[in-house]
Amino acid sequence: MAAPELAVGEMVKVLAPHLDERQRRLLAGAGARVLGRGGLAAVVRVTGMSPNTVRKGRAELDQSATSPGRVRGPGGGRKRATDKDPGLLGALDALVDPATRGDPESPLRWTTKSTPDPGRGPRRWGASGEPRPGR
């Protein structure tokens, strides 16, 4: 390996823990551009990043220098359990309602059921067997 290739690889490894996804892509893309011909393969080899990630970072260098408000686009992550199963809230309410204490108008609910008990009820009604939805 050539000295510039090692220098770029070492720089990326030192800075990577302090950068977000987009910044890592830009740094890898800049390294590939600075190394010139064969730079993409060299950066991929020393960093272990995907070639597509380095290409995307190199392409993003040509775009405007303004940083977007967010690193990832909206809509990522796990979908809410109530979106997957619209009847879940009603089923949970029916499950804990007989054992609920306190003011019915209050958003705070108290139940006398033990922790394992509530998980058994929704499965009887055909809900997912996920023990802790949303986690």
Q: pLDDT, tens digit, for every residue of 73-85?
A: 677 778 888 888 8
Tell me what the mean pLDDT of segment 97-109 comes to: 72
Q: pLDDT grade, residue 55 (50/70/90)?
A: very high
pTM here? 0.49
Task: Provide the residue ranges of all domains of the chain, joining segments of one domain with +.
Answer: 3-62, 81-124
Distance CA 115, CA 96 (A): 11
Range 33-39 contact pairs with CB under 8 angstroms and sequence separation of 24 or more = 33/58, 33/61, 34/4, 34/8, 35/4, 35/5, 35/8
Cα dist from 36 to 85, 121, 125, whole Å: 52, 62, 62
Tell me what the mean pLDDT of segment 99-105 comes to: 71
What's residue 133's pLDDT? 52
